[in-house]
Structure 1
């Protein structure tokens, strides 16, 4: 079975119920394992078996109920933006024309009702508003009805259509009601004003929603369109799409860097704040890495392209943010269920309202009943519910990205607030991850042994290997050919040379080989990480490696303690080294000599104590624990495996970003709860008022026009509340 996961832009959805309709339809197709529609960013995520179905089938199904699915991967996002811009312009134009007709209509209804033929004039003024400028409501409602569905357009179309048709009847046949002693009221202005207010609400909602995705637009805007490539010493301008790995790219003062690479000539300071959230520019010299989207400052340099197109760090950040903004928080599942039955329930309530008025009211029962039914249809709004969670998630994820905190999905953003225990790896997490050889003792002065050591470490993926290689490079030691290289997980590496097996690793490896390590030598290297080099019979060298603690590690750990979070350090290092680092940064609980399985088991142990555990690491040996933790956090300068497994990535590898991520989670969840409260309370209070609950008590009956304005503002208020996250 060939399972694929893809996300497609959806167009023409006008409310949360539309999203539910699309989701249910696609979910029902053969071969679809899972379908999720995000109304806020207008996207459909599908997990499907490509042997049984295809994007073309999804598109056909979605089009059949009045929407569209953009399946051209290359141009889908751009096409969706163009469609949204055109729809926005069309909506604004219809709104202006609707206002031009509605203003005199309301004036006649309020001040000139006794004017001859006033009803006929209002009929003529209202007809274009309802059926021309507001025709999309009726078209969409009809498309939904064909498939047995209903959405917000259904509510608007029914309410305004009924009010308008009732008014037409009363205009042409007033005697029918007069003969029964009932005044034949008309509601042409009500139908027109409701259409106008709903359109105003949609316009404001679209404008606000576009602001929630501003982080993505800013990130995309960081990508320059062209690069300057050096070919035989000549400067040649290329489109970014033509860039190839290995190109020598010239970056001048003030220019944006277009692709990822390694500096080969020159030096400068580069502003990387848009990628990692750090305000200070970073010095770039020969051998330094540079990333797409960052800005060169005063100097100029040449770099060799290493990653282009979709493989650059910026492209991956954009992709991750888009996926996260399109994901759903656990609470959204309940909201989706409510939104799915919301419109049918409102339709039933509106009918019940009408008949209750007919049965129990005496004077003007039909007129009041109809007005109350229309008001119930108008005031009910599933959009506020549908927007409550995803808009907050979009803004939260976007804000995180702007600070160098990449959040992979909505669930992680929601879960981070519950963290009460954090496990930190040492190397590259608490320390800089830039180890250097601090001291060494050799028991054999054969120069060939250093070549063997360098060859072994050149094949190792452990971050400490680089320190040994750099030290041996400074001595001009060359690599030699070794055979049968093998990585011994959590212990070290081994390989064969001239019928002998050589080992490099920790004291745990030496214990396995039953090789004694001199106690006095170990004591001399107390605070350093100790690496042993040996054969299977004798010790060749002891190397002490120092790895500086990051400047802000101590402060970051104090900030975590201040949040009431227990901090643990797990390391594969020796007891002395682990103790020295833990004491330096203020960590009480630490574990040394930890294998990857030990780290995972420690996560399980804390979870068994009902703790919500976050694991922070940067290496392959952390990946098991990262996968097991409730929230997994990777350092951006760590291994690809760690970053792939983790749900949150700190691009700058700054530990203090963990505190920021937890605070962002708390802020986002608080906004979601506020949004859901107001969305629910709005409907809980609004619908009974619209039905006329207060009429028997004080004669109050809600005007449909006010209901229309309230409905429009409910969605806008939810989106606006989410946007507060940007400034909190």
Structure 2
């Protein structure tokens, strides 16, 4: 069996009933073993026998029921994104025109029914609303009907279509009703309002959704399109797709490393923060491993390609992020699952109502049956259902933005309230994410020596040099002239002032000239995981500078609040064990893991999930993107990388960890509002549909007028919106 698994972007889905249709359509094809649709990111995962069925056949099958898939694997995400963008703009344009035409129809229908040619004017204005700007409802409903299925479009098309046809009849043949002692009401405004409201709901939903492909695109963008390869002693600039394992590649200063490999000649510092999350660049010399997407700093070197194409670590991260994102689902799924059953039930009730009146009523059975059927379809239109989730999301996200919490998707709102385990990255999340001088000790107090250190570090390429420069600059120290400057790779720097030689560097460099220094301050700084820079001459030690990534002032309080809420807090970092231990102790974290690579973090998330925990991952770097995508809830720090922010469902604008408990509280209130909206929407239907069918007529002669049903439908939508707006004043 030549089985293979592929993921295709899906175009044209508007509800979970659509997702079910896509699954069943593709799943029923010969050779397809499994078809799973993720409505949240609009993707179809198919496991199929490539010898029996081809993607082109799946595409053709879906086109027949009104959907489409992108099978061009190389540019699928970009193409799907462009199509969805075009569809959104088209929907926005159609809604605008529908609203412009609907407003006068509503005004005439509610207040000026007796004006001359009122019905004819409403007919002219409402017709394009239904069949020009809202034609997608009727087209999609027809395609669903053709294949024996139904979705939200079916109910919209039926209710508005019958109301429009009924109104046409009443406009041109009013005497039919007058002869039976009934008034010939028209329902053009109900039909137009339903179409316009549903389009508004879909616009709100599209605005609430955010494409998951942006993070993937930016991760892919980390890899350069071209590289310099050395073949036969010549330097050749070639496209990335032509590089082969074993090629000798030249990386110049400031360039991104194109593929994974081993350094064979030269040395440099490489910024690997996209992998490790650590702000300090890593020294790369002969025999060191380098990875695609990382940034070479000031030196240049040659390396031998070991992994190319989709085998690089960056490509694996892209793949894993994509797969993890595909497992998410929005809160809207509850509405759409119920709507999938709700639609055929409502249609059945409408038909049964007509049949009951027709066969049981002694006179005018057809007339009352027709009125009952139209009224049921009008009052049951899922406008309130369609608005219940997106309006609450829009208000909830607006409220979040006011307090510095950006909530990007409904999945985060649905699950954040259930979080019982939070994983925190260290650098940039618990700490500031920027190396700073946290202390210094001078054995010689003459300010000229501080000027010498300033000048030595300014000439240095070491990534920690900037921390010392900033520190001394803030103290008002000026530069001095340095002679014979020399960079001592992996150890530090040296230079001369008035023929006196000075050194600044690591403990390794110090030991070449001096014995170990016994000092209480140095011991404390080392135990806290700080990096120590030694400044000395061959004759004596002048000063030591301690550099560390400072813990944010708010981190300890935030972690205390999370603990008090019963949330387990874990810290994962790419830094050393001693540094991780020190930071964890400062903020009150007992569970921490050091020297973690991106895949380790994602695996740890999976481990907690297997234990039944609802996991939130908080990070700020590209190295966190994979774990962020895997977690149930992903939270990015606002000052972090674009990749982390795009991958995450929630972004904290201030990078203040105290916002996490607030985000959980906001989630609880927003989801509560959504549930209230759904409750009232369903209660409205539970009460309204039987009344519309005429259940009270045998008891007290009450028969609900379709006009009142239309007003009730509009009122239900307004009540949902008003309930959502209450979130604006909620205390978080």
Partner of 1:159: 159
1:149 CA drift (Å): 0.7
Partner of 1:287: 284
2 CA distance for matches of 1:562 and 1:723?
A: 24
SS state at 2:200 partner: helix
Partner of 1:378: 381
1 CA distance for matches of 2:50 and 2:718?
A: 43
Partner of 1:442: none
2:19 is the alignment partner of 1:19: yes
Deviation track 1:634-681 (CA, whole Å, cap 9, x = no partner) reads: 9999999999999999999x9x99999898778667755653453344
Residues 336 and 192 of structure 1, relative CA distance in 2, 3 Å threshold: closer
Is the 8 Å Cα contact of residues 119 and 171 (structure 2) preserved in structure 1? yes
Partner of 1:149: 149
1:8 CA drift (Å): 1.2
Is the 8 Å Cα contact of residues 40 and 328 (structure 2) preserved in structure 1? no
5 Å-filtered alignment, 1:310-329, equals 310=310, 317-328=317-328
SS state at 1:8 partner: strand
Partner of 2:562: 563
Residues 44 and 680 of structure 1, relative CA distance in 2, 3 Å threshold: farther
Partner of 1:213: 211
Partner of 1:679: 678
2 CA distance for matches of 1:155 and 1:626?
A: 42
Residues 638 and 198 of structure 1, relative CA distance in 2, 3 Å threshold: closer
Is the 8 Å Cα contact of residues 378 and 708 (structure 1) preserved in structure 2? yes
1 CA distance for matches of 2:727 and 2:58?
A: 31
1 CA distance for matches of 2:41 and 2:727?
A: 14
1:73 CA drift (Å): 0.9
CA-based RMSD? 6.9
2 CA distance for matches of 1:622 and 1:119?
A: 66
Deviation track 1:282-335 (CA, whole Å, cap 9, x = no partner) reads: 3436429677398x9xx7554768676656666555544443333245988876
1:115 CA drift (Å): 5.0
SS state at 1:7 partner: strand
1:60 CA drift (Å): 3.3
Residues 139 and 710 of structure 1, relative CA distance in 2, 3 Å threshold: farther
Aligned length: 577
SS state at 1:5 partner: strand
Deviation track 1:1-56 (CA, whole Å, cap 9, x = no partner) reads: 55543221111122232122212333344454443323333222234454554433
1:555 CA drift (Å): 10
The worse-fitting range, judged by mean Cα deviation, of 679-688 and 176-185 is 679-688
1:148 CA drift (Å): 1.2
2 CA distance for matches of 1:200 and 1:641?
A: 35
1:342 CA drift (Å): 2.5
5 Å-filtered alignment, 1:646-657, equals none
Is the 8 Å Cα contact of residues 19 and 37 (structure 2) preserved in structure 1? yes
Is the 8 Å Cα contact of residues 92 and 203 (structure 2) preserved in structure 1? yes
Residues 627 and 368 of structure 1, relative CA distance in 2, 3 Å threshold: closer
Partner of 1:437: none
The worse-fitting range, judged by mean Cα deviation, of 40-49 and 161-170 is 40-49
1 CA distance for matches of 2:689 and 2:589?
A: 61
The worse-fitting range, judged by mean Cα deviation, of 374-383 and 687-696 is 687-696
Q: TM-score, normalised by structure 1?
A: 0.57
Residues 191 and 99 of structure 1, relative CA distance in 2, 3 Å threshold: same
Is the 8 Å Cα contact of residues 65 and 143 (structure 1) preserved in structure 2? yes
5 Å-filtered alignment, 1:466-545, equals none
Partner of 2:687: 688
Is the 8 Å Cα contact of residues 354 and 372 (structure 1) preserved in structure 2? no
Partner of 1:90: 90
Is the 8 Å Cα contact of residues 141 and 157 (structure 1) preserved in structure 2? yes
SS state at 1:327 partner: coil
Is the 8 Å Cα contact of residues 35 and 46 (structure 2) preserved in structure 1? yes
2 CA distance for matches of 1:133 and 1:589?
A: 59
Q: TM-score, normalised by structure 2?
A: 0.57
1:123 CA drift (Å): 3.0
The worse-fitting range, judged by mean Cα deviation, of 241-250 and 642-651 is 642-651
1 CA distance for matches of 2:606 and 2:149?
A: 41
Is the 8 Å Cα contact of residues 247 and 304 (structure 1) preserved in structure 2? yes
Residues 282 and 19 of structure 1, relative CA distance in 2, 3 Å threshold: same
Partner of 1:197: 197
Partner of 2:37: 37
SS state at 2:381 partner: helix
1:698 CA drift (Å): 13
1 CA distance for matches of 2:114 and 2:625?
A: 77
SS state at 2:347 partner: helix
5 Å-filtered alignment, 1:103-118, equals 103-106=103-106, 108-110=108-110, 113-114=113-114, 116-118=116-118
2 CA distance for matches of 1:329 and 1:721?
A: 26
SS state at 2:8 partner: strand
2 CA distance for matches of 1:589 and 1:387?
A: 40
SS state at 2:89 partner: helix
Unpaired stretches in structure 2, ≥5 consecutive residues: 399-404, 432-489, 492-525, 528-546, 573-577, 645-654
Unpaired stretches in structure 1, ≥5 consecutive residues: 396-401, 431-472, 475-526, 529-547, 571-576, 591-613
Residues 646 and 327 of structure 1, relative CA distance in 2, 3 Å threshold: closer
2:221 is the alignment partner of 1:223: yes
1:141 CA drift (Å): 0.7
Residues 582 and 249 of structure 1, relative CA distance in 2, 3 Å threshold: closer
Is the 8 Å Cα contact of residues 260 and 291 (structure 1) preserved in structure 2? yes
Partner of 2:78: 78
Deviation track 1:559-586 (CA, whole Å, cap 9, x = no partner) reads: 656533678999xxxxxx9xx9999679
The worse-fitting range, judged by mean Cα deviation, of 124-133 and 324-333 is 324-333
2 CA distance for matches of 1:277 and 1:679?
A: 44
Partner of 2:69: 69
1:127 CA drift (Å): 2.9
Is the 8 Å Cα contact of residues 9 and 43 (structure 1) preserved in structure 2? yes
Residues 322 and 126 of structure 1, relative CA distance in 2, 3 Å threshold: same
5 Å-filtered alignment, 1:126-525, equals 126-206=126-206, 208-210=207-209, 212-213=210-211, 216=214, 220=218, 223=221, 229=227, 246-251=249-254, 257=256, 259=258, 282-284=279-281, 286-287=283-284, 292=293, 300=298, 302=300, 310=310, 317-328=317-328, 337-351=337-351, 369=372, 372-379=375-382, 383=386, 414=415, 417=418, 419=420
2 CA distance for matches of 1:390 and 1:568?
A: 29
1:345 CA drift (Å): 2.2
SS state at 1:9 partner: strand
SS state at 2:6 partner: strand
